[in-house]
């Protein structure tokens, strides 16, 4: 059995007989599951189970709950979810090439994948391929509900099997795809049957094309490919080879230009001085080349020097239509050569990791209207006029803005909100959802004191059986987090704990640490601030920039990174973006085992001490 195939379409079909799904950029695959276990089978029939052990392991955990539905076959996609409508194909592809178990195990830890199920082909050993798509979807939903599996995609949910969202309004899903940079959408006829290995007009794929401007550099007659490049600094770097998409007259024009004006550098190769710019349609950039490139149009308004790295990044990651960007070339952090557009690109890339900590919290931002070197001010109150997509929440006499989506984040970015500060609870509870210790050395030169305090705290928390997380403050300090179950502990409860930990460290090393609030009385010691953890107080959000000279980021860390080599200035915007590509998000599992925290036991022990 091989997957049913999709037909490429340019336009989204409309009508009551169509439903719509996000198209994920991953590995199409069948999940075949019987009493002997589960297997992931690629569209070519290859077994991918060893490459994606997190999926197989999750199935094993579910085996007793799904036994009554076996044998079962699900049609779906292996993905690494960036957000709810986007998968990072490069990560899935890299995993698919791995063969060494230890390498795969490490990659699973850093970049865990999901299986997105969109069809049910067999259940209880009975084939469903002759049922309508609507009926197959209904049965799939019922099975997932019975097994308490997600019936809507949530990239933050650690459950590895999730059922795809189904939309009846194409505009709604298309807007989500374009705003979140997804690959496209799939339109399916509700009455369609499932046909193995057949390309059918009943299932259509519509790509979310991005258009990148490149300089033509070379033509290879032997294979018919043209080569295109962009400037990286002063060097032309090839990013695409293409031949599809050209009309016959366009093809002949280009061949003539190369053969008439170019320099013949080989038997079948002509090189051309930078002069002609063209638009290339693609779906992504894999780090070296544009993916699925097609010629789109000539661009005679662009100079070759306009085709540079920053311009390509903006074309690959277009700003949502709802956001009007002003002065994109304004210098924001001059010392780091970061302009407003660089900052907005950072926010787009980091939004999947930052938004979970901003969502549904009363937000305070620090705005720098003229960049880091200009004046700044705190803003809590929403201005009189905010875009329709922005969510606000009244609290006493303040109408707060909540940053719940990438559009709001970019709106803030365009206003040059450079720092994002959040309370310790969401709008849904008066109780803290985490404890945060702010470790504040007297200056960056004493950062080693923050490292020492963090490691000593980690030892205490490990002894108590508490899971903890750590991040830089983006300034001169470190912040240590303990996630808490929702609606279970008050600020009075957490004060008992934070006060004990801070005073214990001060008793251990009084020459290093202090809880003295007045700076003049700290005598160059690290300040352990437990008073700050209180209702109405805020902390800088994970992945928020800071308004310091270099625009350093409040960066989540793995605990193994907290050592003598750790320095705050390692975490600039470019460095953090590169870091996320290579090692994933240390705060990904922040709320994963929240109910297992033994904070109640610890609190009881401390209260008994009194």
In whole angstroms, what is the distance from residue 256 CA to residue 221 CA? Answer: 11
In whole angstroms, what is the distance from residue 153 CA to residue 161 CA? Answer: 9
**Pick from 237, 320, 249, 250: which is nearest to 279 by CA?**
250
| CA quadruple 156, 159, 164, 169: dihedral sign | negative
In whole angstroms, what is the distance from residue 150 CA to residue 144 CA? Answer: 7
Instruction: Give catalytic status of residue 23 as yes or no.
Output: yes
In whole angstroms, what is the distance from residue 246 CA to residue 237 CA? Answer: 23
**Residue from 23, 41, 188, 525 carrying the catalytic annotation:** 23
CB 283 within 8 A of CB 312: no
DSSP string, 412-426: HHHTTEEEEEEESS-
Distances (CA, A) of 68 to 123, 142, 231, 557: 9, 13, 59, 43
Query: For residue 195, what are its two tokens?
Result: 């046909």
Query: Helix, strand or coil for residue 462?
Result: helix
The residue assigned the tokens 């399916």 is 188
Strand partners, 95: none
Vertex 574: Cα angle to 570 and 95 (nearest 5): 100
Query: Helix, strand or coil for residue 62?
Result: helix
My answer on whether omega of the bond before 346 falls inside 30° of 0, hence cis, is no
In whole angstroms, what is the distance from residue 91 CA to residue 88 CA? Answer: 6
CB 298 within 8 A of CB 215: no
R_g (Cα) of the chain, nearest Å: 27
Vertex 466: Cα angle to 462 and 470 (nearest 5): 80
Distances (CA, A) of 22 to 3, 86, 176: 17, 8, 9
The residues that are catalytic are: 23
């Amino acid at each position: 059995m091989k997957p049913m195939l999709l037909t490429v379409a340019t336009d989204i079909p409309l009508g009551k007989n169509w439903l719509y799904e996000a198209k994920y950029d991953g590995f199409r695959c069948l999940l075949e599951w019987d009493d002997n276990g589960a297997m992931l089978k690629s569209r070519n029939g290859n077994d991918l189970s060893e490459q994606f052990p997190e999926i197989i392991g999750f199935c094993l955990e579910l085996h007793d709950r799904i036994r009554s539905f076996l044998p079962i076959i699900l049609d779906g996609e292996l993905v690494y979810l960036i957000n709810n409508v986007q998968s990072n194909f490069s990560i899935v592809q890299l995993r698919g090439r791995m063969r060494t178990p230890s390498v795969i195990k490490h990659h699973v830890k850093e970049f865990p994948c999901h299986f997105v199920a969109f069809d049910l082909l067999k259940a209880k050993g009975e084939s469903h391929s002759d049922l309508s798509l609507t009926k197959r979807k209904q049965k799939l939903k019922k099975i997932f509900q019975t097994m308490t599996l997600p019936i809507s995609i949530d990239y933050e949910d650690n459950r590895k099997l999730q059922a795809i969202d189904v939309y009846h309004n194409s505009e709604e899903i298309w807007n989500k795809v374009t705003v979140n940079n997804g690959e496209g959408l799939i339109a399916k006829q509700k009455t369609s049957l499932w046909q193995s290995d057949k390309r059918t007009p009943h299932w259509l794929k519509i790509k979310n094309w991005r258009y990148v401007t490149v300089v033509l550099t070379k033509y290879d007659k032997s294979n018919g490919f043209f080569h295109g490049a962009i400037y990286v600094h002063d060097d032309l770097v090839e990013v695409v080879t293409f031949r599809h998409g050209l009309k016959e007259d366009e093809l002949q024009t280009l061949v003539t230009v190369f053969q008439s004006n170019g320099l013949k550098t080989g038997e079948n190769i002509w090189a051309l001085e930078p002069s002609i710019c063209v638009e290339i349609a693609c779906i992504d950039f894999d780090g070296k080349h544009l993916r699925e490139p097609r010629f789109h149009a000539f661009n005679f308004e662009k100079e070759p020097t306009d085709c540079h790295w920053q311009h390509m990044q903006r074309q690959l990651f277009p700003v949502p239509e709802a956001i009007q960007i002003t002065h994109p070339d304004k210098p924001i952090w001059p010392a780091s050569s970061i302009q407003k557009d660089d900052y907005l690109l950072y926010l787009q890339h980091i939004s999947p990791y930052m938004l979970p900590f901003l969502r549904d919290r009363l937000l305070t931002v620090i705005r720098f209207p003229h960049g880091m070197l200009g004046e700044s001010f705190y803003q809590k109150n929403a201005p009189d006029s905010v875009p329709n997509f922005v969510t606000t929440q009244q609290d006493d006499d303040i109408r707060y803005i909540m940053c719940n989506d990438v559009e709001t984040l970019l709106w803030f970015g365009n206003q040059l909100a450079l720092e994002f500060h959040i309370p310790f609870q969401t709008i849904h509870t008066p109780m803290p959802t985490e404890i945060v210790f702010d470790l504040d050395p007297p200056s960056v030169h004493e950062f080693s004191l923050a490292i020492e305090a963090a490691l000593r705290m980690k030892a205490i928390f490990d002894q108590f059986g508490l899971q903890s997380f750590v991040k830089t403050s983006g300034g001169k300090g470190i912040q240590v987090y303990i996630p808490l179950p929702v609606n279970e502990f008050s600020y009075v409860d957490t004060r008992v704990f934070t006060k004990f930990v801070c005073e214990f460290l001060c008793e251990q090393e009084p020459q290093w640490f202090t809880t003295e609030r007045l700076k003049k009385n700290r005598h160059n010691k690290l300040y352990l601030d437990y008073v700050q953890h209180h209702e109405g107080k805020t902390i800088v959000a994970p992945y928020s920039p800071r308004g310091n000279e270099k625009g350093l980021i409040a960066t989540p860390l793995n605990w193994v990174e907290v050592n003598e080599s750790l320095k705050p200035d390692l975490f600039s915007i470019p460095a953090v973006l590169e870091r996320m590509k290579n090692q994933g998000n240390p705060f990904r599992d922040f709320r994963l085992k929240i109910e297992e925290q033994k904070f109640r036991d610890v609190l009881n022990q401390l209260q008994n001490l009194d």
